[in-house]
Amino acid sequence: MIIIDGSVGEGGGQILRTSIALSALTQKPIRINNIRSNRPKPGLAAQHLTSIKAVSMLCRGKTRGLDLGSTELDFTPGDLSGGTYELDIGTAGSITLVLQACLPVALRSPNPTTLSLKGGTDVKYSPPIDYFKYVLKPILEKMGAGIELKLIKRGYYPKGGGEVKIDIIPPDSGWKDLFLAEPEKFEKVHGIVHYANLPNHISRRIKSSAISEFKNQFDNKKLELEIEQVSHSLSPGVGITLWSKSPNTVIGSSALGERGIPAEKLAINALKDLLTEIQVKATVDKYAADQLLIYLAVCNRGCILARAPLSTHAQTNIEVIETFFGKIFQLKEQEKVIEIKRFENPEK
């Protein structure tokens, strides 16, 4: 059994999600202690329970300590299976964070998987659903994944109520290596502004601010920005997600509305983040760099360029991954980016 200290590094749910996924993928039982000990409310929250349940369903796993607030968990994986499942987080807990745990497992299962997930689609401290759809999903498809995503309803904090259906088809002939080691050329920026239960002028102000800031920062590049008014939302909410494609990759950024933050500031923050990624010549943005690590781990080889310095999340993710696989990553700083290289696995 592999023992994982849930207090190391960033000390949050990332350790739990990565550990559970890798346990299922490697068929190695684990025990996680000190779960989320660095958080104001330590232990398992509703989103983490759903993540573990999802992975357990996909590998017929067994658990001990799967309770709200639990700070210790044992997980014993079984055979990967796939299948059709419905899961309701029951709060505004993040749907995309649940996918972080179960998607790598579903993509290694012998059969396709269909998941219907209810919870939060656009909530703090997690990737928005548009980021998953327009940034992470295309990169995973480049590696061989088959993913069909349908956003049925958005869900915001505090009541959630969002719903997503996702069909996951494992790669036919195994994972393709991901090589994004050279700077890319990004010409056009796309974006979505979404809002619910708020005055229409808020979305217009975000769009106007985005267009104005874009002209100041992005020279001759083009911006295509959509506005989506969300109907029947249980909670008010607003956010913006931006992304830009190159011939080989996608980078993105996002910002979510909060009380006290002017609408115009959302667009400016998202655009500045995206511009920074382009200027430093990263091939994946800082959020994708973190999320792609587990997929690089199951590849034969791979290489990405991420903005320096590496986030605490990513550093912790590397530490957890190498607990299962040994030393498989090489990090090399190059001016304003870090090259993350996955050593070749001679057994594959």
Question: What six digits make up the tokens of 130?
Answer: 């548009």
Question: What six digits make up the tokens of 201?
Answer: 């002028």
313 is catalytic: yes
Interatomic CA distance for residues 102 and 172, integer angstroms: 19
> From the CA atom positions of the chain, what is the Rg in Å?
20
Q: Which of 106, 251, 148, 146 is nearest to 190 (CA)?
A: 251
Interatomic CA distance for residues 286 and 314, integer angstroms: 9
> Is the backbone peptide bond immediately before 309 cis, with ω within 30 degrees of 0?
yes
Q: Which amino acid is at 11?
A: G
Q: What angle do CA 100, 333, 185 make, to 5 degrees?
A: 70
Interatomic CA distance for residues 197 and 154, integer angstroms: 12
Interatomic CA distance for residues 230 and 330, integer angstroms: 44
Catalytic residues: 313
